[in-house]
């Protein structure tokens, strides 16, 4: 007789079957080749408008050269956690450069942004504390709060006044306020100045996840806090990732010296993980120098964003409000978003359909992302394809009725 499946796996299988029934099962496209703007997927060469390489550094020749030299010098791995023997001169130099770039005393490296956020929140928060977060925060911030045992309270997206009202309900409880700097699925920017004033008045610690702002916004690309004119007193904890605009991999948390030193002692996801390879740290240091000084990349990216938004408005495309490289087109229905994404692939473009549970039900979208590596000609060809797909049929409309669909 067959052995009955354990209850836990049965429950997971049931959830998987339900996801298939709802049309929400996700499979990653297998990429057989990738360069700055193209990917080979299923034998087709597609122009990519869905990655997070905002400055086009991931395939910059300067970084390829730096990576080869660093690998020859350091090898391929770090061999241990930072506290054992995995912390190298390359790591120290990268942390110092990241701190200087963001205007902070000290930076601490993590393997990923997810590990950084979970590690920081689990270290700072305890049961009985309150963690207040924007409803559209990244999953890592939400998971970190839940794993800490603190009370997780979520305020309406971008609403600092609602956040203040929620904090007022817990006047004598240690509090941490966490927000994305740039929201990854909407592309809009958090009201950091208002949130900073709120955190200061309430003596709450403010954490900003600047994964999608670093390299793109602010003087020399120093991020959303710098763009808002906020220093480390006003934003004590700044998390940044290195696999987006910086073009490599990993993450860091930056802030006042004592606070970051304490995190290095107690953040379990830092202490008990193998350190990022020194060769990667050295390559990232070269990438940070490029991101800080190659202003032409940001200028070209800004021109692409302005052009896309102006053209999308003229074409009556359902564009969401964003001044960042993340330019979502709100479709509504998940199945329809997937069909449009497939039709864009037929037209030669890779643009991912974002569906629940990543976004709320009824808010599926095409998440168009722009890179300094894109040319104006590539962008115009994408706009031509979007115009054809969004307006070719008079019988199908978006959820808000603003444009027609195939």
CATH of the domain at 213: 3.40.640.10
Q: Structure pTM?
A: 0.92
Could you say which of 293, 308, 336 is where a domain stops? 293
Query: Sheet of 31-34: strands edge to edge?
Result: 31-34, 38-41, 44-48, 349-350
What integer pLDDT is reported at residue 24 of this predicted model?
84
Q: Is residue 187 part of a domain?
A: yes
76 is in an annotated binding site: no
SS3 (DSSP) at 103: coil
Clarify whether residues 251 and 388 are in a common domain. no
Clarify whether residues 253 and 394 are in a common domain. no
Q: Is residue 1 part of a domain?
A: no
Q: Is residue 17 part of a domain?
A: no
Two tokens at 378?
């590539």
Clarify whether residues 150 and 44 are in a common domain. no
Cα end-to-end distance, the chain, whole Å: 51
38 is in an annotated binding site: no
Backbone angles phi, psi at 152, to 5 degrees: -95, 120
Clarify whether residues 299 and 287 are in a common domain. no
Could you say which of 230, 260, 293 is where a domain stops? 293
What is the chain's alpha carbon radius of gyration, rounded to the nearest angstrom?
Answer: 22
Two tokens at 165?
């009202």
CATH code of the domain covering residue 373:
3.90.1150.10
What integer pLDDT is reported at residue 404 of this predicted model?
32
241 is in an annotated binding site: yes
HSE of 377 in the Cβ direction (CA atoms, 13 Å)?
A: 1
Two tokens at 375?
């040319």
Q: Is residue 138 part of a domain?
A: yes
What integer pLDDT is reported at residue 205 of this predicted model?
98
Q: Is residue 339 part of a domain?
A: yes
- C-alpha 307: how far from chain center: 23
Q: Is residue 16 part of a domain?
A: no
42 is in an annotated binding site: no
212 is in an annotated binding site: yes
Please report the beta strands in 6-155, taking only residues with DSSP state E, as ranges in sequence order. Answer: 31-34, 38-41, 44-48, 106-110, 130-134, 151-155
Query: Of the candidates 67, 46, 70, which has an alpha carbon nearest to the alpha carbon of residue 57?
Result: 67
Is residue 152 within 8 A of residue 131, CB to CB? The reply is: yes
What integer pLDDT is reported at residue 405 of this predicted model?
32
Specify whether the backbone of 61 is left (phi greater than 0), alpha (psi in -120 to 50) or beta: alpha
What integer pLDDT is reported at residue 230 of this predicted model?
98
What integer pLDDT is reported at residue 3 of this predicted model?
67
Clarify whether residues 331 and 366 are in a common domain. yes
- Counting beta carbons within 10 angstroms of the beta carbon of residue 247, is it exposed (0 to 12), middle (13 to 18) or buried (19 or more)? buried
Active site residues: 184, 212, 244
Clarify whether residues 320 and 272 are in a common domain. no
Give the span between the Cα atoms of 19 and 257, in whole angstroms. 46
What integer pLDDT is reported at residue 162 of this predicted model?
97
Clarify whether residues 160 and 244 are in a common domain. yes
Clarify whether residues 278 and 388 are in a common domain. no
Give the span between the Cα atoms of 372 and 326, in whole angstroms. 13
Clarify whether residues 142 and 203 are in a common domain. yes
Clarify whether residues 266 and 391 are in a common domain. no
Query: Sheet of 364-369: strands edge to edge?
Result: 326-332, 364-369, 353-354
Could you say which of 263, 293, 323 is where a domain stops? 293
Two tokens at 319?
């564009």
138 is in an annotated binding site: yes
Q: What is the extent of the structural domain holding 182?
A: 61-293
Domain count, the chain: 2
Q: Is residue 7 part of a domain?
A: no
Neighbours of 47 (CB within 10 A): 20
Clarify whether residues 189 and 280 are in a common domain. yes
pLDDT tens, position by position, for the chain (406 residues)? 666 667 888 898 899 999 888 888 888 888 898 999 999 999 999 999 999 999 999 999 999 999 999 999 999 999 999 999 999 999 999 999 999 999 999 999 999 999 999 999 999 999 999 999 999 999 999 999 999 999 999 999 999 999 999 999 999 999 999 999 999 999 999 999 999 999 999 999 999 999 999 999 999 999 999 999 999 999 999 999 999 999 999 999 999 999 999 999 999 999 999 999 999 999 999 999 999 999 999 999 999 999 999 999 999 999 999 999 999 999 999 999 999 999 999 999 999 999 999 999 999 999 999 999 999 999 999 999 999 999 874 334 444 433 333 3
Clarify whether residues 324 and 381 are in a common domain. yes
């Amino acid at each position: 007789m067959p052995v009955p499946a354990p209850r836990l796996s049965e429950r997971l299988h049931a959830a998987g079957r339900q996801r298939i029934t709802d049309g929400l099962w996700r499979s990653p496209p297998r990429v057989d080749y990738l360069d700055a703007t193209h990917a080979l997927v299923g034998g087709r060469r597609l122009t990519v408008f869905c990655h997070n390489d905002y400055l086009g550094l991931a395939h910059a020749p300067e970084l390829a050269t730096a990576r080869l030299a660093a690998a020859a010098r350091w090898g391929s791995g770090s061999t241990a956690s930072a506290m054992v023997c995995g912390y190298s001169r390359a790591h120290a130099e990268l942390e110092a450069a990241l701190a200087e770039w963001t205007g902070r005393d000290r930076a601490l490296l993590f393997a990923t942004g997810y590990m950084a956020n979970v590690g920081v929140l689990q270290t700072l928060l305890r049961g009985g504390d309150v963690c207040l977060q924007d409803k559209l925060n990244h999953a890592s911030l939400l998971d970190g709060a839940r794993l800490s045992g603190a009370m997780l309270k979520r305020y309406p997206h971008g609403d600092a006044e609602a956040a203040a009202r929620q904090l007022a309900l817990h006047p004598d409880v240690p509090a941490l306020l966490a927000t994305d700097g740039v929201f990854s699925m909407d592309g809009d920017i958090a009201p950091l100045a208002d949130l900073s004033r709120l955190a200061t008045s309430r003596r709450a610690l403010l954490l900003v996840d600047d994964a999608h702002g670093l390299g793109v916004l602010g003087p020399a690309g120093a991020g959303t806090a710098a763009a808002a004119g906020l220093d480390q007193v006003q934003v004590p904890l700044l998390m940044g990732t290195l696999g987006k605009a910086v073009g490599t991999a990993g993450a860091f948390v930056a802030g006042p010296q004592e606070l970051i030193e304490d995190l290095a002692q107690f953040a379990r996801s830092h202490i008990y993980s193998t350190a990022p390879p020194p060769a990667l740290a050295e390559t990232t240091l070269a990438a940070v120098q490029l991101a800080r000084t190659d202003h032409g990349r940001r200028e070209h990216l800004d021109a692409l964003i302005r052009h896309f938004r102006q053209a999308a408005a003229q074409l009556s495309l359902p564009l969401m409000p964003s001044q960042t490289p993340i330019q979502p087109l709100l479709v509504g229905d998940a199945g329809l978003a997937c069909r449009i994404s497939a039709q864009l692939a037929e037209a030669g473009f890779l643009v991912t359909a974002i569906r629940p549970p990543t976004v709320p039900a009824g808010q599926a979208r095409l998440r168009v992302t722009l890179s300094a590596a894109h040319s104006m000609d590539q962008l115009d060809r994408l706009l031509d394809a979007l115009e054809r797909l969004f307006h070719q049929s008079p019988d199908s409309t978006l959820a808000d009725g603003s444009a027609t669909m195939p």
